[in-house]
């Protein structure tokens, strides 16, 4: 994803993206081995509570992480200055290459796995009574299919990649809006410069965020219509991406304000996570049970509330204390470079390795122990595979993408 052009890199966002990718992996793992099984395997009551009813459920529920992932993408895309139409179409082409080239390499890897060790999804699905798992790798992943799915940003060769179409399309739409916004701002003059001699508490103006909010409302209305009436699935991700644009253009608190209310920003960041991690549901149950009433349908948890909690977290964590420092440690900076690679390889590793391990371990011990063991081993395997992929295919993909970008810029220079 693009780095900002108007400020130094916010390393805390890299740390968040790595955590988000790991939680997406854990969500898919638990979906395969427990939560999406028609007949749930025999986990202990304590393990079931941890997976379904405790705050740790957030580690196996990717809803918030998908929202955060898309918001960060919109936030970063909105920071890219696009002043001419040539910059606009080049940005869209480069964004496409940012996904198509890594897709091609990982899809070819999946094709090689298909014709060598194979994927045991069908046997595992039969054992786990899991129709969701049964839907993967039903047809051979031929090299031709791997190439086609890379060109079209499809997900037949690698199931979790379905969201990348939404990510690529949404960020290109953000580029269009950024281009139009830049043109309008250049006509009206720069309105982001604070007036007066005293340093304001918030840098920037509220006029342009108000316009961004109007655009966000229009995009949300279109996405809701498209999902309900046109049956375009996953349009809520596009809404989350444009919410990241609004986050980018919100006036920023001054350094003095950040220092003064550092603890408050930390509390708000933690609150966003806590509300998603069963906090919102728990509060509703306590309030309405005390009143002897049922929770109204419009108050129950849904994607809108999740989006709000994600937005609160992302807005506050950038000005917080210990959460931001934790996300920006040297260890987190080093490991966060493999976040995209972890996302690319986690499902092939699960389908080729974890399911095979399950079939070998079945009936050898309690399913509770099998589940914990395979989860631990697969987590290690995904991180190692992600690192190996990043050091080889990931770097190759970067070099290929950069070479293609240089060719385009040499033929059609921006300025």
Give per-residue pLDDT as tens, 95-125.
999 999 999 999 999 999 999 999 999 999 9
Taking 70 as the threshold, does the pLDDT of residue 362 lie above it? yes
pLDDT at 201: 61
Domain annotation covers residue 124: yes
pLDDT in tens, 67-83: 999 999 999 999 888 88
Contact call for residues 110 and 158 (beta carbons, < 8 A): yes
Report the number of distinct structural domains present in the chain: 1
Calpha distance 122→126 (Å, rounded): 6
Q: How confident is the model at residue 234 (pLDDT cuts 50, 70, 90)?
A: confident
pLDDT at 276: 87
Does any domain span residue 152?
yes
Angle, helix 339-349 to helix 85-115, in steps of 10 degrees: 30
Say what the pLDDT of residue 290 is.
79
Average pLDDT over residues 16-27: 94
Q: Let me know if residue 198 belongs to a domain.
A: no
pLDDT in tens, 288-337: 887 778 878 778 777 888 899 999 999 999 999 999 999 999 999 999 99
Q: Is residue 255 part of a domain?
A: yes
Average pLDDT over residues 199-217: 68
CB-based contacts of 41, cutoff 8 Å, min separation 6: 33, 34, 128, 367, 371
Encode pLDDT of 248-301 as tens digits.
888 888 888 888 999 999 999 999 999 888 888 888 888 888 777 887 877 877
Of 171, 145, 166, 12, nearest to 76 by C-alpha is: 171
Three-state DSSP class for 412? coil
pLDDT of 302: 76
- On whether residue 19 sits in a domain, the answer given is yes
Full residue range of the structural domain in which residue 227 is found: 11-189+204-411
Does residue 1 belong to any structural domain of this protein? no
Please state the rounded mean pLDDT for residues 383-400: 94
Q: Is the pLDDT of residue 345 over 90?
A: yes
Domain-located, residue 197: no
Residue at 293 is within a domain = yes
């Amino acid at each position: 994803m693009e780095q900002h052009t108007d400020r130094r890199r916010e390393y805390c966002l890299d740390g968040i993206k790595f955590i988000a990718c790991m939680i997406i992996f854990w969500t898919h793992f638990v979906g395969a081995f427990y939560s999406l099984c028609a007949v749930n395997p025999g986990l202990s009551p304590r393990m079931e509570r941890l997976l379904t009813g405790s705050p740790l459920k957030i580690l196996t529920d990717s809803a918030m992480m998908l929202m955060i992932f898309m918001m960060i993408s919109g936030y970063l895309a909105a920071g890219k200055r696009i002043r001419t139409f040539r910059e606009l179409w080049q940005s869209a082409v480069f964004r496409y290459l940012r996904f198509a080239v890594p897709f091609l390499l990982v899809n070819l890897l999946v094709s090689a796995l298909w014709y060598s060790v194979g994927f045991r999804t069908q046997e595992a699905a039969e054992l786990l009574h899991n129709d969701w798992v049964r839907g993967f790798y039903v047809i051979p992943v031929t090299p031709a299919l791997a190439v086609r799915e890379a060109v079209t940003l499809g997900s037949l060769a690698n199931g979790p990649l379905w969201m990348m179409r939404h990510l690529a399309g949404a960020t290109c739409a953000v580029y269009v809006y950024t281009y139009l916004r830049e043109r309008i701002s250049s006509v009206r003059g720069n309105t982001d410069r604070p007036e007066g001699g005293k340093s304001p508490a918030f840098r920037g103006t509220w006029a342009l965020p108000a316009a961004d909010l109007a655009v966000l409302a229009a995009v949300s209305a279109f996405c809701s219509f498209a999902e309900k009436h046109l049956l375009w699935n996953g349009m809520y991700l596009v809404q989350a991406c444009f919410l990241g644009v609004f986050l980018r253009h919100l006036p920023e608190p001054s350094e003095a304000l950040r220092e003064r209310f550092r603890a408050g920003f930390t509390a708000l960041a933690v609150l966003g996570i806590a509300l998603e991690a069963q906090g919102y549901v728990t509060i509703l149950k306590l309030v309405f049970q005390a009143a002897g009433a049922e929770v109204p349908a419009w108050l129950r948890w849904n994607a809108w509330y999740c989006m709000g909690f994600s937005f609160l977290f992302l807005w506050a964590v950038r000005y917080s204390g210990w959460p931001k420092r934790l996300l920006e440690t040297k260890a987190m900076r080093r490991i966060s470079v493999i976040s995209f690679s972890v996302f690319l390889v986690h499902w092939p590793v699960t389908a080729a390795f974890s399911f095979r391990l399950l079939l070998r371990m079945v009936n050898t011990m309690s399913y509770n122990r099998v589940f914990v063991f395979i989860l631990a081993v697969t987590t290690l395997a995904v991180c190692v595979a992600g690192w190996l992929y990043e050091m080889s295919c990931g770097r190759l993909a970067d070099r290929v993408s950069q070479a293609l970008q240089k060719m385009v810029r040499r033929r059609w220079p921006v300025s």
